[in-house]
A and B are shown apart, each in its own frame.
Chain A
Amino acid sequence: MIALDGVALIFHRPSGLTHIVAPPAPQILEALGEGDADPAALLDRLKRDYDFDDSEDLEAALEARLTELETSGLVWRA
């Protein structure tokens, strides 16, 4: 994963595809890089590293981003 101005480039070895992803996708992938996690554990990792506004529905937002990453093939669900 390579950071450019505001976005990140990812070369996905299994598919050979290049992805260009905007925040928060690079941050989510980085947190997942520590090891497999369910959404709750993943959110804990993100909360550890970033300050979130309490008013947001973080679970729903993370779920939506994870679904997008799953569609792109960058995240798998066991």
Chain B
Amino acid sequence: MKHELRVRVGSVGFRIGSDWKQPIDQLAALYKDYPTPDIPDFTVRLFAQRPWRRFIRPSVMIGGDYMLPDAAPLSLAHGLLAAEMGMNLQMALGQRRYLLLHASAVERDGKALLMTGDSGAGKSTLSALLGERGWRFMGDEFALIDLETGALHAFPRPVSLKNEAIALFEGAVEADRLGPIMRDTPKGDIRHLRPPKDAIARMGEPAKPALLLFPRFGYDPDVREVGEAEIFVRLTQASTNYVALGEAGFGALSDLVQNIPTRAIDYPDTESAVASVERLWAELAE
């Protein structure tokens, strides 16, 4: 395609092609500390719906190795979001090397904290916040579980901060780590945050899953135990490739569920969440 960027996140290589220069320039700035893959695993294409739509009311269609047939195009102003969505789509539909959980992850002392929950539960914000406070950020979107060893592999793409979460980081981190602000996207306002340099430099280091949390934002502080069967079902729902992996996925997921301490936590604000996380980590992480 006319414009192209190659980038590696964790062990996964991407090639992103675009009809327009702007999204590629924005991606290059956001991913400036990331390495270039030798051979990309996945290709994402951002292309015009019709040839003239490159110029007149440009609208970005998302394509690639794996596509959703009826995905709606985005405006060019949201081209960076389109690229990120395209990369996520390749992972969600195409990744077969790992059990993929829709979860965020941070690491300390070689051990990983996994957080999963519905959109808006705060897993992304929490992982980014902990990443600024002594934890190694391993990813805000996908946790990759090794099918052989059960280890967690990092996928530390830039964090997609949404709505109120954006203000938590503006002024608190170096300005060049924040991408352009995109208003009124299908997910509200979005601004990307490049993870700390250390998180990118160490993205090849796996960690042992040591604590799993189901956070929920907007409730009075509470911590609840969760039964193993419920954890298993929730994680199958949080996995995009559990069914595709067959018995290998079943083995990896049941091992994880049987071995990892798990709690559901409710929190009214992020400071309360960080305090709960630190306390539970000290109590439970093995």
Contacts and interface: CB of A to CB of B under 8 A. Distances in A.
B227 interface: yes
A23 B204 CA distance: 43
Contacts, number: 31
A2 B258 CA distance: 9
Interface in B226-241: 227-229, 232-233, 236
Nearest to A8: B229
A27 interface: no
B250 interface: yes
Instruction: Bin the interface of chain B by size.
Output: 10 to 19
A16 B246 contact: yes
B233 A20 contact: yes
Contact of A20 (B229, B243, B251): B229
Interface string A5-19: 111010101001010
Main secondary structure of the interface of A (DSSP, over half): loop
B145 to A, nearest CB: 16
B227 A5 contact: yes
B243 A9 contact: no
B246 A9 contact: no
A4 interface: yes
A61 to B, nearest CB: 23
A20 B235 CA distance: 14
Contact of A6 (B229, B236, B246, B258): B229
Contacts of A18: 236, 250
Given A20-B232, A20-B233, A4 B258 contact: yes
B247 interface: yes
Nearest to B228: A4
Contacts of A7: 229
B254 interface: yes
A4 B250 contact: no
B247 A9 contact: no
7 closest A-B pairs by CB: A4-B228, A11-B250, A5-B228, A7-B229, A4-B229, A2-B254, A5-B227
Interface of B: 227-229, 232-233, 236, 243, 246-247, 250-251, 254, 257-258
Given A16-B246, A18-B250, A20-B233, 9 more contacts: A2-B258, A4-B227, A4-B258, A9-B229, A9-B254, A11-B247, A11-B250, A18-B236, A20-B232
